[in-house]
Amino acid sequence: MHCAERLLARGDRVVGVDDLNAYYAVSLKRDRLARLEGKPGFRFAQFDLAAPGVLDALMAEEPPDAVLHLAAQAGVRYSLENPAAYVQANLVAFANLLEACRRQPPRHLVYASSSSVYGGNTRLPWSEHDNVDHPVSLYAATKKSNELMAHAYSHLYGLPSTGLRYFTVYGPWGRPDMSPILFAHAIMKGEPIRVFNRGDMQRDFTYIDDIAEGTLRVLDSPAGPDPAFDAAAPDPAASWAPWRVCNIGNHQAVGLLAYIDALERALGKTTTKELLPMQPGDVQATYADTARLDALVGFAPSTPLEVGLARFAQWFRPYFGYT
Protein backbone atom coordinates (compact mmCIF):
# COMPACT_ATOMS: atom_id res chain seq x y z
CA MET A 1 0.00 0.00 0.00
CA HIS A 2 2.74 2.47 0.96
CA CYS A 3 4.66 1.81 -2.26
CA ALA A 4 1.49 2.02 -4.36
CA GLU A 5 0.63 5.40 -2.81
CA ARG A 6 4.05 6.75 -3.74
CA LEU A 7 3.89 5.38 -7.27
CA LEU A 8 0.46 6.93 -7.83
CA ALA A 9 1.57 10.25 -6.34
CA ARG A 10 4.37 10.53 -8.88
CA GLY A 11 2.04 9.76 -11.79
CA ASP A 12 2.56 6.05 -12.41
CA ARG A 13 -0.26 3.66 -13.23
CA VAL A 14 -0.53 0.83 -10.70
CA VAL A 15 -2.24 -2.53 -11.06
CA GLY A 16 -2.46 -4.06 -7.58
CA VAL A 17 -3.00 -7.78 -7.03
CA ASP A 18 -4.02 -9.40 -3.73
CA ASP A 19 -6.16 -12.38 -2.82
CA LEU A 20 -7.24 -10.71 0.47
CA ASN A 21 -6.92 -14.01 2.30
CA ALA A 22 -7.81 -14.45 5.96
CA TYR A 23 -4.33 -15.06 7.40
CA TYR A 24 -5.04 -11.90 9.37
CA ALA A 25 -7.99 -9.50 9.53
CA VAL A 26 -9.38 -8.91 6.04
CA SER A 27 -10.85 -5.64 7.34
CA LEU A 28 -7.35 -4.20 7.71
CA LYS A 29 -6.49 -5.25 4.17
CA ARG A 30 -9.67 -3.67 2.83
CA ASP A 31 -8.99 -0.46 4.76
CA ARG A 32 -5.54 -0.29 3.16
CA LEU A 33 -7.10 -0.92 -0.24
CA ALA A 34 -9.66 1.85 0.36
CA ARG A 35 -6.78 4.34 0.54
CA LEU A 36 -5.88 3.46 -3.06
CA GLU A 37 -9.19 2.81 -4.78
CA GLY A 38 -10.56 5.79 -6.63
CA LYS A 39 -7.15 7.37 -7.12
CA PRO A 40 -6.33 8.12 -10.77
CA GLY A 41 -4.22 5.38 -12.31
CA PHE A 42 -5.08 2.62 -9.84
CA ARG A 43 -6.70 -0.69 -10.68
CA PHE A 44 -7.19 -3.63 -8.33
CA ALA A 45 -7.40 -7.31 -9.30
CA GLN A 46 -8.31 -9.88 -6.65
CA PHE A 47 -6.96 -13.37 -7.25
CA ASP A 48 -4.48 -15.91 -5.91
CA LEU A 49 -1.08 -15.69 -7.60
CA ALA A 50 -0.73 -19.45 -7.15
CA ALA A 51 -3.71 -20.06 -9.45
CA PRO A 52 -2.47 -21.17 -12.88
CA GLY A 53 -2.77 -18.76 -15.79
CA VAL A 54 -4.49 -15.84 -14.06
CA LEU A 55 -1.43 -13.63 -13.74
CA ASP A 56 -0.41 -14.46 -17.30
CA ALA A 57 -3.75 -13.17 -18.53
CA LEU A 58 -3.47 -9.94 -16.53
CA MET A 59 0.07 -9.20 -17.69
CA ALA A 60 -0.82 -9.97 -21.31
CA GLU A 61 -3.68 -7.49 -21.02
CA GLU A 62 -1.50 -4.83 -19.40
CA PRO A 63 2.21 -5.52 -20.04
CA PRO A 64 4.09 -4.05 -17.07
CA ASP A 65 6.98 -1.63 -17.22
CA ALA A 66 8.12 -2.92 -13.82
CA VAL A 67 6.93 -5.58 -11.38
CA LEU A 68 7.08 -5.11 -7.61
CA HIS A 69 6.30 -8.40 -5.89
CA LEU A 70 5.57 -7.91 -2.18
CA ALA A 71 3.03 -10.71 -1.83
CA ALA A 72 3.89 -13.73 0.30
CA GLN A 73 2.78 -15.96 3.11
CA ALA A 74 4.69 -14.14 5.83
CA GLY A 75 5.60 -15.07 9.39
CA VAL A 76 8.23 -17.38 10.80
CA ARG A 77 6.17 -19.11 13.50
CA TYR A 78 3.14 -19.78 11.30
CA SER A 79 5.40 -21.71 8.91
CA LEU A 80 5.74 -24.36 11.62
CA GLU A 81 1.95 -24.72 11.77
CA ASN A 82 0.95 -24.54 8.12
CA PRO A 83 3.90 -25.30 5.83
CA ALA A 84 1.64 -25.97 2.85
CA ALA A 85 0.59 -22.31 2.78
CA TYR A 86 4.23 -21.31 2.30
CA VAL A 87 4.77 -23.77 -0.51
CA GLN A 88 1.75 -22.40 -2.38
CA ALA A 89 2.20 -18.67 -1.73
CA ASN A 90 5.98 -18.41 -1.72
CA LEU A 91 7.07 -21.09 -4.18
CA VAL A 92 4.21 -21.90 -6.56
CA ALA A 93 3.05 -18.27 -6.79
CA PHE A 94 6.61 -17.04 -7.30
CA ALA A 95 7.17 -19.58 -10.07
CA ASN A 96 3.98 -18.34 -11.74
CA LEU A 97 5.26 -14.78 -11.44
CA LEU A 98 8.60 -15.64 -13.04
CA GLU A 99 6.88 -17.42 -15.91
CA ALA A 100 4.59 -14.42 -16.46
CA CYS A 101 7.65 -12.13 -16.47
CA ARG A 102 9.34 -14.42 -19.00
CA ARG A 103 6.38 -14.03 -21.33
CA GLN A 104 5.87 -10.28 -20.73
CA PRO A 105 9.33 -9.08 -19.68
CA PRO A 106 9.42 -5.99 -17.45
CA ARG A 107 12.50 -3.79 -17.35
CA HIS A 108 12.88 -4.80 -13.69
CA LEU A 109 11.43 -7.33 -11.26
CA VAL A 110 11.86 -6.40 -7.59
CA TYR A 111 10.64 -8.89 -5.00
CA ALA A 112 10.57 -9.18 -1.24
CA SER A 113 13.13 -11.49 0.23
CA SER A 114 13.77 -11.37 3.98
CA SER A 115 16.42 -10.94 6.64
CA SER A 116 15.32 -14.43 7.71
CA VAL A 117 17.50 -15.91 4.95
CA TYR A 118 20.57 -15.27 7.14
CA GLY A 119 19.33 -18.01 9.46
CA GLY A 120 21.97 -19.37 11.81
CA ASN A 121 24.65 -16.83 10.84
CA THR A 122 25.88 -15.21 14.09
CA ARG A 123 28.38 -12.80 12.49
CA LEU A 124 26.88 -9.31 12.64
CA PRO A 125 26.01 -7.10 10.87
CA TRP A 126 24.57 -9.35 8.20
CA SER A 127 26.00 -8.65 4.77
CA GLU A 128 24.70 -9.69 1.36
CA HIS A 129 28.16 -11.14 0.77
CA ASP A 130 27.57 -13.70 3.56
CA ASN A 131 26.59 -17.28 2.80
CA VAL A 132 22.89 -17.94 3.47
CA ASP A 133 22.70 -21.73 3.28
CA HIS A 134 21.51 -22.39 6.84
CA PRO A 135 17.86 -21.29 7.22
CA VAL A 136 16.18 -22.03 10.56
CA SER A 137 12.55 -21.92 9.34
CA LEU A 138 10.61 -23.00 6.27
CA TYR A 139 9.67 -19.36 5.73
CA ALA A 140 13.37 -18.47 5.43
CA ALA A 141 13.95 -21.42 3.11
CA THR A 142 11.18 -20.24 0.77
CA LYS A 143 12.69 -16.75 0.64
CA LYS A 144 16.14 -18.13 -0.17
CA SER A 145 14.44 -20.27 -2.81
CA ASN A 146 12.91 -17.15 -4.36
CA GLU A 147 16.38 -15.66 -4.73
CA LEU A 148 17.65 -18.82 -6.42
CA MET A 149 14.61 -19.10 -8.71
CA ALA A 150 14.99 -15.46 -9.74
CA HIS A 151 18.66 -16.05 -10.51
CA ALA A 152 17.81 -18.92 -12.83
CA TYR A 153 15.40 -16.71 -14.80
CA SER A 154 17.85 -13.81 -14.85
CA HIS A 155 20.47 -16.16 -16.29
CA LEU A 156 18.24 -18.01 -18.73
CA TYR A 157 16.05 -15.17 -19.98
CA GLY A 158 17.93 -11.97 -19.12
CA LEU A 159 15.25 -10.91 -16.61
CA PRO A 160 16.65 -8.07 -14.46
CA SER A 161 15.76 -8.93 -10.87
CA THR A 162 16.55 -7.64 -7.38
CA GLY A 163 15.64 -9.37 -4.14
CA LEU A 164 15.23 -7.06 -1.16
CA ARG A 165 16.01 -8.50 2.26
CA TYR A 166 13.72 -6.52 4.55
CA PHE A 167 14.59 -6.19 8.24
CA THR A 168 11.69 -6.08 10.78
CA VAL A 169 9.42 -3.57 9.06
CA TYR A 170 7.11 -1.56 11.32
CA GLY A 171 4.83 1.47 11.10
CA PRO A 172 1.22 2.49 10.40
CA TRP A 173 -0.96 -0.11 8.65
CA GLY A 174 1.44 -2.93 9.58
CA ARG A 175 0.65 -6.61 9.98
CA PRO A 176 -1.21 -7.43 13.21
CA ASP A 177 0.78 -10.64 13.73
CA MET A 178 4.00 -8.65 14.21
CA SER A 179 5.30 -7.33 17.51
CA PRO A 180 4.34 -3.62 17.21
CA ILE A 181 0.61 -4.30 17.04
CA LEU A 182 0.69 -7.38 19.29
CA PHE A 183 2.64 -5.51 21.96
CA ALA A 184 0.63 -2.29 21.55
CA HIS A 185 -2.66 -4.12 22.14
CA ALA A 186 -1.22 -5.73 25.27
CA ILE A 187 0.07 -2.39 26.57
CA MET A 188 -3.23 -0.59 25.99
CA LYS A 189 -5.22 -3.43 27.60
CA GLY A 190 -2.82 -3.80 30.53
CA GLU A 191 -2.08 -7.40 29.58
CA PRO A 192 1.35 -9.04 29.88
CA ILE A 193 3.64 -8.88 26.86
CA ARG A 194 5.05 -12.27 25.86
CA VAL A 195 8.81 -11.75 25.59
CA PHE A 196 10.73 -14.62 24.02
CA ASN A 197 14.26 -15.69 24.90
CA ARG A 198 13.60 -13.81 28.14
CA GLY A 199 14.26 -10.55 26.34
CA ASP A 200 17.74 -11.46 25.16
CA MET A 201 17.00 -10.59 21.54
CA GLN A 202 17.86 -7.80 19.15
CA ARG A 203 16.11 -6.63 16.00
CA ASP A 204 16.95 -4.13 13.28
CA PHE A 205 13.62 -2.25 13.30
CA THR A 206 13.07 -0.43 9.98
CA TYR A 207 10.37 2.21 9.55
CA ILE A 208 7.92 1.75 6.70
CA ASP A 209 8.62 5.10 5.00
CA ASP A 210 12.29 4.16 4.72
CA ILE A 211 11.32 0.77 3.34
CA ALA A 212 9.08 2.33 0.68
CA GLU A 213 11.70 4.92 -0.29
CA GLY A 214 14.44 2.33 -0.62
CA THR A 215 12.20 -0.08 -2.50
CA LEU A 216 11.15 2.41 -5.14
CA ARG A 217 14.69 3.69 -5.62
CA VAL A 218 15.75 0.12 -6.32
CA LEU A 219 12.75 -0.44 -8.60
CA ASP A 220 13.89 2.55 -10.68
CA SER A 221 17.45 1.15 -10.95
CA PRO A 222 17.26 -2.16 -12.85
CA ALA A 223 19.80 -4.82 -12.02
CA GLY A 224 22.56 -5.55 -14.48
CA PRO A 225 25.42 -8.04 -14.73
CA ASP A 226 28.25 -7.36 -12.29
CA PRO A 227 31.40 -6.88 -14.37
CA ALA A 228 33.54 -7.70 -11.34
CA PHE A 229 31.84 -11.05 -10.71
CA ASP A 230 34.33 -13.90 -10.46
CA ALA A 231 32.82 -17.34 -11.07
CA ALA A 232 35.89 -18.93 -9.47
CA ALA A 233 35.14 -17.07 -6.22
CA PRO A 234 31.42 -16.29 -6.50
CA ASP A 235 29.94 -13.43 -4.48
CA PRO A 236 26.52 -14.49 -3.06
CA ALA A 237 25.22 -10.93 -3.61
CA ALA A 238 25.98 -10.59 -7.32
CA SER A 239 26.12 -12.46 -10.61
CA TRP A 240 27.17 -12.50 -14.26
CA ALA A 241 23.39 -12.34 -14.84
CA PRO A 242 21.26 -9.20 -14.27
CA TRP A 243 20.51 -10.31 -10.71
CA ARG A 244 21.32 -9.05 -7.23
CA VAL A 245 20.15 -9.10 -3.62
CA CYS A 246 20.20 -6.16 -1.23
CA ASN A 247 19.50 -5.52 2.46
CA ILE A 248 17.04 -2.84 3.55
CA GLY A 249 17.42 -2.27 7.28
CA ASN A 250 18.04 0.53 9.74
CA HIS A 251 21.63 -0.60 10.42
CA GLN A 252 20.97 -0.65 14.16
CA ALA A 253 20.36 -3.67 16.40
CA VAL A 254 17.96 -2.69 19.19
CA GLY A 255 17.43 -4.84 22.27
CA LEU A 256 13.91 -6.24 22.60
CA LEU A 257 13.38 -4.84 26.09
CA ALA A 258 14.59 -1.38 25.01
CA TYR A 259 12.17 -1.58 22.08
CA ILE A 260 9.27 -2.41 24.40
CA ASP A 261 10.21 0.50 26.66
CA ALA A 262 10.20 2.85 23.65
CA LEU A 263 6.80 1.55 22.53
CA GLU A 264 5.38 2.08 26.02
CA ARG A 265 6.63 5.67 25.98
CA ALA A 266 5.05 6.23 22.57
CA LEU A 267 1.70 4.90 23.81
CA GLY A 268 1.90 6.60 27.22
CA LYS A 269 1.22 3.37 29.15
CA THR A 270 3.18 0.48 30.63
CA THR A 271 2.44 -3.16 31.35
CA THR A 272 4.12 -6.29 32.66
CA LYS A 273 6.30 -8.74 30.73
CA GLU A 274 6.05 -12.53 30.63
CA LEU A 275 9.55 -13.87 29.98
CA LEU A 276 9.50 -17.03 27.84
CA PRO A 277 12.06 -19.33 26.15
CA MET A 278 13.23 -18.88 22.57
CA GLN A 279 10.69 -20.00 19.99
CA PRO A 280 11.56 -22.52 17.26
CA GLY A 281 12.58 -20.78 14.03
CA ASP A 282 13.62 -17.54 15.76
CA VAL A 283 17.09 -16.02 15.77
CA GLN A 284 18.72 -14.11 18.60
CA ALA A 285 19.70 -10.98 16.64
CA THR A 286 19.27 -9.28 13.27
CA TYR A 287 21.41 -6.38 12.08
CA ALA A 288 21.67 -5.10 8.50
CA ASP A 289 24.78 -3.97 6.72
CA THR A 290 23.30 -1.32 4.37
CA ALA A 291 26.45 -0.21 2.53
CA ARG A 292 25.37 -2.00 -0.65
CA LEU A 293 21.97 -0.27 -0.73
CA ASP A 294 23.60 3.11 -0.18
CA ALA A 295 26.11 2.45 -2.96
CA LEU A 296 23.41 1.31 -5.39
CA VAL A 297 20.78 4.03 -4.89
CA GLY A 298 22.29 6.64 -2.57
CA PHE A 299 19.93 5.88 0.31
CA ALA A 300 19.86 3.91 3.53
CA PRO A 301 17.13 3.85 6.22
CA SER A 302 17.80 6.10 9.20
CA THR A 303 14.49 6.90 10.96
CA PRO A 304 15.15 6.72 14.73
CA LEU A 305 13.06 4.10 16.54
CA GLU A 306 11.47 6.71 18.83
CA VAL A 307 10.32 8.75 15.83
CA GLY A 308 8.93 5.73 13.99
CA LEU A 309 7.12 4.39 17.05
CA ALA A 310 5.57 7.81 17.75
CA ARG A 311 4.14 7.83 14.21
CA PHE A 312 2.97 4.25 14.63
CA ALA A 313 1.20 5.14 17.92
CA GLN A 314 -0.54 8.11 16.29
CA TRP A 315 -2.09 5.69 13.79
CA PHE A 316 -2.61 2.73 16.12
CA ARG A 317 -4.65 4.39 18.87
CA PRO A 318 -7.46 5.87 16.77
CA TYR A 319 -7.54 3.01 14.25
CA PHE A 320 -8.15 0.40 16.96
CA GLY A 321 -10.35 2.69 19.08
CA TYR A 322 -8.03 3.40 22.03
CA THR A 323 -8.49 6.83 23.61
Residue 24: the pLDDT is 93
pLDDT in tens, 44-54: 999 999 999 99
Catalytic residue among 86, 118, 139, 166: 139
pLDDT in tens, 243-270: 999 999 999 999 999 999 999 999 999 9
Residue 167: the pLDDT is 97
User: Which amino acid makes up residue 35?
Assistant: R
Its pTM stands at 0.96
Question: 139 an active-site residue?
Answer: yes
Domains of the chain, residue spans: 2-174+205-252+287-302
3-state secondary structure string, 95-164?
A: HHHHHHHHHCCCCEEEEECCHHHHCCCCCCCECCCCCCCCCCCHHHHHHHHHHHHHHHHHHHHCCCEEEE
pLDDT in tens, 217-241: 999 999 999 999 999 999 999 999 9
Strand partners, 195: 275
Residue 282: the pLDDT is 86
- 323: pLDDT confidence band, cut at 50, 70 and 90? confident
Residue 280: the pLDDT is 87
Topology of domain 2-174+205-252+287-302 in CATH is Rossmann fold (3.40.50)
- 75: pLDDT confidence band, cut at 50, 70 and 90? confident
Per-residue b or e along 98-118, where b marks 16 or more CB atoms closer than 10 Å to that residue's CB: bebbeebbbebbbbbbbbbbb
DSSP assignment of 25-80: -HHHHHHHHHTTTTSTTEEEEE--TTSTTHHHHHHHHS--SEEEE------TTHHH
